[in-house]
Amino acid sequence: MTRKFVGSKEMLAALSFGLLVSCATGQNIPSTTNPASRVLLSIERVEALNPGKDNEESAKQLFGEPDMKVTDPEPGIGDVWLYFDPGTKATRVSLQFDSKSTILLAAAWFVRGNSPEENLKTVIAKFPNAHFKKREAKQIVPDYIPDEAYLEDRKLGVQIEYYQSNSRVHSITWTAPKTQN
């Protein structure tokens, strides 16, 4: 597949303004914590969560205190907890909660190098009952067409993010199952 990088940013800036607006909201600088005790982060632990049923308390029992907590990084997002790989600031697990009910809305596992989940076929095989629909990432800046794409089954509540150029998986996200795909 041919991907294009478009020079002369100003030329396309006006056309792309609508796409930019959703990402241009202000954010407060988050602070990180240093959890005294850290459980081992694993995809199995993330899979054990039930978005739509679990809440902040049950997530804390499973994962411990997060490395970073942010409220409304964009309006209406709610509470976001991030867990980093030890000794890094790289997100390994992200959890999103409803601010009022504290119910878990989404749990994501970020795949790191040399793990079986890097392989798209391996990850797809984890969900034999899924009926995935492909969605390409939206273009955010005028001079760069993104490589990322998503396989989604909203009925099942699963999303696989991968790079189209090399089929490498970047993340897997679980949400509460929806009634319609």
Partner 1 sequence: MTIRIRPQPVPQLEIVLFDSAFDQSRNLARILGHELAHIAYRDLSAQDHDDLLAALYRFEFNDASGKKIYIRGRNKFVEEDGKLSPTEDIANDIEYFLFDPKRLKEVTPTAFDWIKMHFGANFKLERVIK
Eight-state DSSP code of residue 112: -
Helices (H), 35-141: 43-47, 56-63, 120-125
CA 83 to chain centre: 12
For the bound state, the minimum distance from the C-beta of residue 74 to partner 1, rounded and expressed in Å, comes to 6
Amino acid occupying residue 1? M
- SS3 of residue 149 by DSSP: strand
Indicate the residue among 9 and 60 with the shorter CB distance to partner 1: 9
For the bound state, the minimum distance from the C-beta of residue 118 to partner 1, rounded and expressed in Å, comes to 7
Phi first, then psi: what are they for 170, rounded to 5°? -105, -40
**Cα maximum dimension of the chain:** 52
Indicate the residue among 21 and 40 with the shorter CB distance to partner 1: 21
Indicate the residue among 58 and 85 with the shorter CB distance to partner 1: 85
Closest of 109, 161, 93 to residue 132, by C-alpha: 161
Indicate the residue among 58 and 163 with the shorter CB distance to partner 1: 163
For the bound state, the minimum distance from the C-beta of residue 44 to partner 1, rounded and expressed in Å, comes to 18
- Map tokens 């006006």 to a residue: 14
Phi first, then psi: what are they for 159, rounded to 5°? -140, 130
For the bound state, the minimum distance from the C-beta of residue 7 to partner 1, rounded and expressed in Å, comes to 4
For the bound state, the minimum distance from the C-beta of residue 6 to partner 1, rounded and expressed in Å, comes to 5
For partner 1, the binding residues (CB under 8 A) are 1-11, 20, 23-24, 27, 29-30, 51, 68, 70, 73-74, 77, 80, 82, 85, 88-91, 94, 96, 105-106, 108, 110-113, 118, 135, 137, 140-141, 143-144, 146-148, 150, 152, 159, 161, 163, 165, 168, 170-171, 173, 175-176
For the bound state, the minimum distance from the C-beta of residue 37 to partner 1, rounded and expressed in Å, comes to 22
Indicate the residue among 23 and 125 with the shorter CB distance to partner 1: 23
Amino acid occupying residue 2? T
- SS3 of residue 136 by DSSP: strand
